[in-house]
Chain A
Amino acid sequence: MSGPSLPFFPPDLFDDERELLLDTVRRVGLAEEQKFILGERTARFEAALRERLGAADVVACGSGTSALMLILRAMEIGPGDEVVVPAFGCAPLAASVVNVGATPVFADVHPWTMVVEPYEVEESITSRTAAIMPAHMFSVMADMPTMRALADRHEVRLIEDSAVAQGAVLDGIPAGRWGEAGVFSFVQVKTFGSIGEGGAVVTDDAEIAERVRMLRNHGQDGKQRFVHHVIGFNSRFDEVMAEFQSHRLTGLATRLERRAQIADYYTERFQPLVERGIQPPPPGRDGRCFYVYSLLADRRDELKRHLAERGVGTHVYYPTPLPAQPAFAEYAASDRFWPHAELACARILALPIYPHLTDAQVETIADAVCAFPGGPR
């Protein structure tokens, strides 16, 4: 069986980077210093990101997921602590909290933008709350000014899950810099995806940065080997990845702009479909980053089939709210409900939006969506 002609996950992501990939692996493998992890290349990559963001520090690590765990541990959040997280999103939002021994408390999301609702977050704060952890979703940044105000008012810490939003800017402040610490993810599907797993912690707090640096490498202080000051992880960054990403950084702005242009076009085309039960995301560029272009469709499964028949691959992020997943059921308060998260799970459908889509392909996809008869469920 051959896949769709316009797959959701493009298999040719780095076909144009073949020489770069081969050269990078060969160069690092043969290099005089024979240093493969957390070396000079990683330091240069961190510096380049730091400069771009205007952040005090960027610490590269094993993945976006482990970046969240590193921040939680750096803030000494653990058993007995609660962390407020969105009820709709990727598993690490809740798993990172559980894995450091703390308790996730789920807050419902906005029915259209699918980012966490400030009033739901505020309602979830108790005397045990150590932090709130809003997440940017698909193409929309969470309401960070309000989150910051909430964190200040209730004296809890603010962790920004900006794994999907590298390159977004809200009110002049880049994603990753609204929280006391934020994260990036470089897994291939992301806007700054790479040839392997990787992530980063972004922070202006020198103490968090120093602790994260120790925690990512077994609690060592970078001076004395094999002396372990805290129980840490192995969450390091490979030199091959650092060199590859440093090269790719130059084209990032262009690729992000291309994604935004595709999104602009889609949204304009899909605006009239609202009355047929297909809702595009809000238009606009502020606080936006087009990692995933997600529609909300009343007859989602039919639309998915309709598009598949026309060679357009799609994906359902996420079919189940976090509190309804077996891993987190024990943390789902029995007297709380997350109706907007459930609705999002039932209606969401993501379209291809990778930057190497041609204009003609983008039109084909939009035409296919517009050809869906729609109508009430």
Chain B
Amino acid sequence: MEHAATLAGARAGSAASAATVPFFTQAAGFAAAWPRIEANLNAVIEGGKYSHGPLVAEFEATLAEYTGAAHVVGVNSGTDALVLLLRAAGLRPGEEVVVPAFSFVATASSVALAHGRPVFVDIDPVTYAIDPAAVPEAITERTRMIMPVHLFCQLADLSGIAEVAQRYALTVVEDSAEAIGMHWDGTHAGLQGAGGVLSFFPTKTLGAIGDAGAVITNDPKVGEIAAALRHHGRFGRTLDHFPGISNETVLPGFNSKMDDFQAAVLLAKLATLDADIARRAVLAAAYTERLTDCPGVRRLPTVVKREVETDAVFYVYLIEVERRDELVAHLAANGVGTETYYPVPLHRQPCFAELGHRVGEFPNAEAACAHAVALPLYPDLTEGQVDRVCELIKGFYR
């Protein structure tokens, strides 16, 4: 009974407080999903294996069905998934991987952690993803792979990337960490080339309440190697199988096992994922309607029409504005959270300083870093809160 009161309170609290708009909350959705989460957690306790256990196995199977991937490998984070994917897809030390200059750092740090070298190219200013036309000048005799990133609400130009990859004999691996639910001509994100990843960081479209991720692939070899690498390089049965901890170590691997309590939460949320995605689309449309032609707003998200069927999933509603940092401060002062994805392009990050890139090398990436800001967008958000955010933005530029 006490539980019920808390849960009702979480729902009411979130709906009532239109004045404060956090950048992210999932409390109401979590409360609604609690009966399923609780049942799944009880199954974890019954199973008695708290990581890499039966709930992780069930989550992998359910996610395979959802994405259509032949192999789903649950791991500790989207970043780990990228490192495992790169190694499983055959990246060798010193080989180069073409990545966009605008992304979360893991896009490039994963390449370095897999002992490869990231090579940056500029992005398309509308999709924020790799511009295929910019790829040829980045190619050297060491280039082995290309890693498009699907940011915010849509896929990179996967036809253009497939074409350039074929021309230079590059393996395509997708940083599809943000792209659950997105499809290109009927194929789920991450499954065009050697494989892709998913991140279940809490703010993601499908979010855990901690770190979790997955490698997804249709290539059995990539799936098998990634599965071994997450469990200390051990092949054979390890999932939901304690004695597997003494299987022979065939590859120098990692510990990147997924927690079963995270799988329990993810399974519960997966049941409403399509409804959550639809809700995000409604909220995104509400933002677009209110912010169209707003002074100071340079760019609203535009889903590019492709020659094949694609679908947008609004993980992030990202706009470009004048005086971005001032707007962020203004919104914060009025109780509205935002996130700056991303303030510094990858080629100007201190950790890649030794690559020797200069300001001005990738102008589209740099422009995005100067102007982009993400507005609150999650299924718990109300349209009243969208109104509030948009009124504050309009007020700021008035």
Contacts and interface: CB of A to CB of B under 8 A. Distances in A.
Interface of A: 8-15, 18, 21-22, 25-26, 28-31, 34, 36-37, 62-66, 90-92, 94-95, 98-99, 101, 187-189, 194-197, 218-219, 225-234, 236, 238-241, 315-320, 322, 325-328
A231 B105 CA distance: 9
Contacts of A12: 48
Nearest to A197: B51
Contacts of A10: 48
Contact of B261 (A195, A231, A232, A318): A195
A239 B210 contact: yes
Pick the most buried of A8, A227, A231, A316: most chain B CB atoms within 10 A of its CB: A231
A318 B262 contact: no
A37 to B, nearest CB: 6
| Chain A to chain B: the 9 pairs with minimum beta-carbon distance, closest first | A11-B48, A238-B210, A196-B259, A65-B255, A234-B79, A98-B252, A234-B77, A9-B242, A91-B249
B59 interface: no
A317 B211 CA distance: 29
30 contacts: A8-B242, A9-B242, A15-B45, A22-B41, A25-B41, A26-B34, A29-B27, A29-B34, A30-B7, A63-B76, A63-B255, A65-B254, A95-B249, A194-B50, A195-B50, A196-B51, A196-B261, A197-B76, A218-B105, A218-B106, A218-B109, A219-B109, A219-B351, A225-B340, A239-B209, A239-B210, A241-B210, A241-B259, A325-B250, A326-B250
A226 B48 contact: no
B113 interface: yes
Given A95-B249, A95-B253, A230-B351, A25 B209 contact: yes
B260 interface: yes
A36 B209 contact: yes
A304 B253 CA distance: 29
Nearest to A331: B252
Contact of B250 (A22, A229, A327): A327
Nearest to A13: B48
Contacts of A326: 248-251
A98 to B, nearest CB: 4
B184 to A, nearest CB: 27
Contacts of B22: 34
Contacts of B248: 319-320, 325-326
B233 interface: yes
Contacts, number: 200
Contacts of B27: 29-31, 34
B388 interface: no
Contacts of A14: 45, 50
Nearest to B7: A30
B91 to A, nearest CB: 14
Contacts of B135: none
Given A26-B34, A239-B209, A239-B210, 7 more contacts: A9-B48, A21-B261, A36-B210, A99-B254, A196-B261, A316-B246, A326-B251
Pick the most buried of B6, B26, B34, B76: most chain A CB atoms within 10 A of its CB: B76
B202 interface: yes
A95 B254 contact: yes
Contacts of A196: 50-51, 210, 259-262
Contact of A226 (B37, B255, B344): B344
Contact of B255 (A11, A66, A239): A66
Interface string B355-380: 00000000000000000000000000
A327 B249 CA distance: 6
Nearest to B46: A11
B327 interface: no
Contact of B252 (A94, A189, A229): A94
Interface in B322-348: 340-344
Nearest to B78: A234
B236 interface: no
B98 to A, nearest CB: 18
B25 A34 contact: yes
B211 A234 contact: yes
Contact of A30 (B31, B80, B253): B31
B90 interface: no
B30 interface: yes
A273 to B, nearest CB: 24
Contacts of B77: 62, 234, 236
Contacts of A36: 202, 208-210
A28 B26 CA distance: 11
A23 B246 CA distance: 34
Contact of B38 (A22, A90, A189, A238): A22
Contacts of B389: none
Contacts of B233: 91, 95, 327
Interface in B36-76: 37-38, 41-42, 44-45, 47-51, 76
B257 interface: yes
A233 B79 contact: yes
Given A37-B211, A66-B255, A236-B211, A18 B105 contact: no
A95 B47 contact: no
A195 B259 contact: yes
A228 B347 CA distance: 11
A188 B51 contact: yes
A98 B248 CA distance: 17
A20 to B, nearest CB: 11
Contacts of A15: 45
Nearest to B201: A37
A91 B343 contact: no
A65 B259 contact: no
Contacts of B26: 29, 34
A197 B249 contact: no
Contacts of A319: 246, 248
Contact of B257 (A197, A230, A231): A197
A351 B264 CA distance: 31
B305 interface: no
Contacts of B294: none
A333 to B, nearest CB: 17
B232 interface: yes
A309 to B, nearest CB: 18
